[in-house]
A and B are shown apart, each in its own frame.
Chain A
């Protein structure tokens, strides 16, 4: 089945130690998104890639970066994680909006990041 896969499911890192989360997709969608969801809150968009074009949300901290080496893979890099970055990180994909308007987003199972 076509899907969005996130690895690892759980990630533990130390305060200040860089960490990378990965997302892959077999849907061949050209848009990929990263969301952050803190405990008891709704998911919040960090940034998205439209093909190779990177689009950062205005309030995403500089500590968060992303790479998309090809259509299938996208990475979330946290350069110096702080305790406040402990959260669930969700990757999603969609096809580009066509003349019909929006397209549904398909989510992975998420990576739960803990900071020691």
Chain B
């Protein structure tokens, strides 16, 4: 099945800093989603982005499907951005079952 890898595993930022999170996947995808899991365990959908670029406020994401990677950009980070960021993808072959990466744990300090 598809493999999804995320980097870095951990990231510590000062409030106001920018960051880039990376997601590599091993197969052609028909779904790629970025999630933020907050300290209460809620999985918040950030982007559905199997290809192209999207922006939502301070967050943006780019997926280069032909090169099998996606990037999540966080600008002007805030303490509320802390949590775990997951990338999840489903392969073009077979049914659309999301496989999650191991996540990037982000801590934004004031």
Contact = CB atoms under 8 A, between A and B. Distances in A.
Interface string B71-99: 00000000000000010101010011111
Interface in A18-53: 31, 33, 37, 41-45, 48, 50
Contact of A45 (B29, B30, B42, B97): B97
Given A42-B102, A110-B41, A110-B43, A101 B50 contact: yes
Nearest to B102: A42
B31 interface: yes
A50 B95 contact: yes
Given A88-B41, A102-B29, A110-B41, A43 B100 contact: yes
A45 B98 contact: yes
Contacts of A48: 95, 97
Interface in B29-83: 29-31, 33, 35, 41-43, 45, 48, 50
A103 B96 contact: yes
Contacts of B31: 101-105
A94 B96 contact: yes
| Overall SS of chain A's interface | strand
Contacts of B86: 42-43
B45 A107 contact: yes
Contacts of A105: 31, 33, 88, 98
A58 to B, nearest CB: 10
Interface of A: 31, 33, 37, 41-45, 48, 50, 55, 88, 90, 92, 94, 97, 101-107, 109-110, 112
15 contacts: A42-B102, A45-B98, A48-B95, A55-B95, A97-B95, A101-B30, A101-B31, A102-B29, A102-B30, A103-B31, A104-B31, A104-B33, A106-B45, A110-B43, A112-B41
